[in-house]
Structure 1
Amino acid sequence: MRVLHVITGLGAGGAEQQVRLLCRYSAADSEVAVLTGRGVVADGLVDDGVPVHAIGMRGNRDLRGLVRLVRLMRGGRFDLVHVHLFRAQVHGRLAARLAGVPHVIATEHSLGDRLLEGRPTGRPGLRALYRAAELLGDHTVAVSATTAERMRRWGVPADRITVVPNGVEAERLAFRPDLRRSTRAELGIPADARVVGTVGRLVPTKRVDAVVDALALLPETVGLVVGTGPAEDELRGQVARLGLGGRVVLAGERTDVPGVLAAMDVFVSACPEETYGLGVVEAVAAGLPVAYAACPALEEHPADRAPRTRRVAVDAAAIAAAVTELAADPAAAAREPAPVVEHYDIRRVAARLDEEYARLGRADRPAVPAGEGGTR
């Protein structure tokens, strides 16, 4: 089956990394179309041998970009288009219908209670546009049961939704002492330091500022913040105001997730609203103890499937107390991945999506009339 993934951008985000992993582990013959900038994930896809088509769309009303996308779909003779993120869901579904692609599926990565990819969910017309775009597709995958419930509240029928979570490369993320040593040396972090870290896009909604405030309450602790985004300059100012410049490393955008996780001793995610919580699951796969504000991927499983994790309020004192407790647990030193990680292994996830692709492909096959079937 030939599949074209359509996504808004290909920077170092969770949805973008998922597209790369799906192309790597799916049985489908996959290509990727990116509406806006290419980014580091595009380079990774090319390194993997996956064709990446830059559409160069300049805005939501760029009809020339839509035409280019339709031409790509027609010329590529794709069996299925898989769209990711809101702008790509709108334009990708429409283009697929105009191009006559037989099947269109979406993954909903980002629908929160209050925000949809930074857009307030109460914005006039947003729900109507979301619902109209959804009707142009055949089916939508939700990355968690929490996300599926939000979709139903937005008017998407339950029979048009299937829950297939994001996946992680569990073996690649497993803790390695050599990566710990080399990454710490590269970042200038002492080998014997206690390191509290976080990974993600630096935007206000991720509340990395609360993690930095917590670090001010944790003496003799190094902070490692991995990511970039519009809140980066503000965070740098906060680090300076709190006098933490000597012990908070703002590492910027990095693609060596196993290395930066290996360099940490405790992982913190202070984002109060998540659709899945990919960074948390990756940290758990790396054997890290984790303090998190929200993570449907863990909350939808029994607590004993993810030991050494604590749900905390978005509050500096609460985060600092959880970090202290987690770091003192003798079991943390073993860096064993939690049992829940098996459920989210990318091979399992990619196989589930391949099943969805095949199910859509079978749906339009005419039934064999009674008496005409059987073996020969």
Structure 2
Amino acid sequence: MEHLVYEIPSGLSSEFDVDLVGLEETSPRIEESFSRHVSIRRARWPGWLRGLTTIPVGYINLARYIKANRPDVVLTLSGIGINGLVVGLAGRRFGIPTVNRVTSDIFKVWWHKGGVFGRLSLFVRNNVLGRLSIRLSTKVVILHRDFRSRFRSKSIQNKLVAIPQPMAFPDADPNQARNIREGLGIPADARVASCIGRLAPDKNIPLLLRVAKRAMEERSDLHVIIAGSGPLEETVRRAARSESRFHVLGEIERGRVPAILQASDVFLSTARPGGEGLSTAIAEAIHFNVPVVATASGPGTLAMVPTASMDETALVKGLVDESTPQGVMPENMDPADNAGCWRDLVRSLIEDRVTG
């Protein structure tokens, strides 16, 4: 998430003064991306009470900022049910255009949350408060135009603007691929499938393991690299102990991702429906011309991987078959193009406010 909070305001700051209105604690990288940091003190209340008062306290602090600074536009990049509602309410009160941002198939995310209370809490946050914040917003940024299908109301669809997350892709380096294979003891002529991401329930790890095992049974030269950490990492490691062609790397540095992808012949993503917005890992695989096998986890994935399927046998075939097609890169992910989209959006809101 930090690279988004870093890239988007950096792109806007070439034309606008961009204030960060938030808690005192931020990373130096984020701090440098903004013209100014307006700090909000964290309430020193017990955790349960702080949770209940997040929206009213956030609203009061944002209202104070707006009264003192009179910004032209207020936007939030994440947290549509909390931050989005605060921004939407304040914008309506003070007559300031607001921008909200939907980062996933939010209305289905609660399905995969563990526990009754967790599901109920997430449903209220996204499906109740999130829908309200969308109605209050002037514009709503979605990650791909195909997400429009999730909004039936014509008035809401008129608010939608498709801008993906910005991504800077490194150049290909064949030496990196060779080093990865040699380091893991994978023959140069072997077929390699990789999966990079958080090992959590929303990534459907049981399906990932079943598909990988079935594919390895069908191809004796297939190796599977799984990189990432999370609550199900130990489950993955246990499943991999009986097969030497499973390579579980655990948490890796961000800089190793390009090397793993370049060492791969195919990329596998098994996210559950609603669990993905616009997958960064899939976009990176497409950049390096690695064919992608993926579940139909949402509009963003289907747009990038037209062959995405929930059929397990089809996923296995995709790993085994060397004719698996490459994916489609979304428009405007390049940081320069992406920054232009954000500047156009903010500029149009300011112009509409002046002329309206």
For normalisation by structure 2, the TM-score amounts to 0.73
Specify the code of the residue in structure 2 equivalent to 1:22.
I
| CA deviation string 1:323-349 (max 9, x = no partner) | 121xx35x99xxxx8674565433223
- Find the partner of 1:320 among 310, 313, 316: 316
8 Å Cα contact 1:164/1:349 also seen in 2: yes
C-alpha displacement of 1:23: 3.2
- Find the partner of 1:110 among 81, 104, 109: 104
8 Å Cα contact 2:193/2:265 also seen in 1: yes
C-alpha displacement of 1:145: 2.9
SS in 1 for 2:231: coil
- Aligned-pair RMSD on alpha carbons? 4.0
Q: Residue in 1 aligned with 2:269?
A: 269
8 Å Cα contact 2:269/2:295 also seen in 1: yes
C-alpha displacement of 1:29: 4.2
Shift in alpha-carbon separation, 1:347–1:215, aligned structure 2, 3 A:
same
Q: Residue in 2 aligned with 1:248?
A: 247
8 Å Cα contact 2:186/2:223 also seen in 1: no
2:205 paired with 1:208: yes
2:299 paired with 1:296: yes
Specify the code of the residue in structure 2 equivalent to 1:178.
N
| CA deviation string 1:91-150 (max 9, x = no partner) | 44446667x583320111123452259557994685332232223322111112332221
Could you tell which deviates more after superposition, 345-354 or 63-72?
A: 63-72
Specify the code of the residue in structure 2 equivalent to 1:346.
P
Shift in alpha-carbon separation, 1:266–1:21, aligned structure 2, 3 A:
farther
C-alpha displacement of 1:298: 6.1
Shift in alpha-carbon separation, 1:261–1:36, aligned structure 2, 3 A:
farther
Shift in alpha-carbon separation, 1:132–1:21, aligned structure 2, 3 A:
same
Q: Give, in whole Å, the separation in 2 of the partners of 1:289 and 1:112.
A: 27
Q: Give, in whole Å, the separation in 1 of the partners of 2:147 and 2:3.
A: 19
- Find the partner of 2:177 among 177, 180, 185: 180
8 Å Cα contact 2:22/2:40 also seen in 1: yes
Aligned ranges for residues 281-360 of structure 1 at < 5 Å? Answer: 281-294=283-296, 296-297=299-300, 299-300=302-303, 310-313=307-310, 315=312, 317-325=313-321, 328-329=322-323, 340=329, 344-360=333-349
C-alpha displacement of 1:68: 5.2
Q: Give, in whole Å, the separation in 2 of the partners of 1:189 and 1:51.
A: 50
Q: Residue in 2 aligned with 1:140?
A: 140
SS in 1 for 2:167: coil
SS in 2 for 1:157: helix
- Find the partner of 1:90 among 65, 81, 85: 85
Q: Residue in 2 aligned with 1:157?
A: 156
SS in 2 for 1:230: coil
Aligned ranges for residues 164-243 of structure 1 at < 5 Å? Answer: 164-169=163-168, 172-182=169-179, 188=184, 190=186, 192=188, 194-217=191-214, 218=216, 219-240=220-241, 243=242
Q: Give, in whole Å, the separation in 2 of the partners of 1:95 and 1:229.
A: 36
C-alpha displacement of 1:46: 5.2
Shift in alpha-carbon separation, 1:338–1:161, aligned structure 2, 3 A:
closer
SS in 2 for 1:152: coil
C-alpha displacement of 1:365: 0.8
8 Å Cα contact 1:89/1:106 also seen in 2: yes
Shift in alpha-carbon separation, 1:114–1:135, aligned structure 2, 3 A:
closer
Q: Give, in whole Å, the separation in 1 of the partners of 2:159 and 2:179.
A: 47
Could you tell which deviates more after superposition, 283-292 or 58-67?
A: 58-67
Shift in alpha-carbon separation, 1:289–1:18, aligned structure 2, 3 A:
same
8 Å Cα contact 2:18/2:34 also seen in 1: no
Specify the code of the residue in structure 1 equivalent to 2:212.
L
- Count residues with an aligned counterpart: 329
For normalisation by structure 1, the TM-score amounts to 0.70
SS in 2 for 1:216: helix
Q: Give, in whole Å, the separation in 1 of the partners of 2:225 and 2:40.
A: 33
Higher share in helix: 2
Identity of aligned residues (%): 18
C-alpha displacement of 1:65: 5.7
C-alpha displacement of 1:290: 0.9
C-alpha displacement of 1:357: 0.6
Specify the code of the residue in structure 1 equivalent to 2:158.
D
- Find the partner of 2:9 among 23, 32, 45: 23
Q: Give, in whole Å, the separation in 2 of the partners of 1:94 and 1:248.
A: 49
C-alpha displacement of 1:322: 0.8
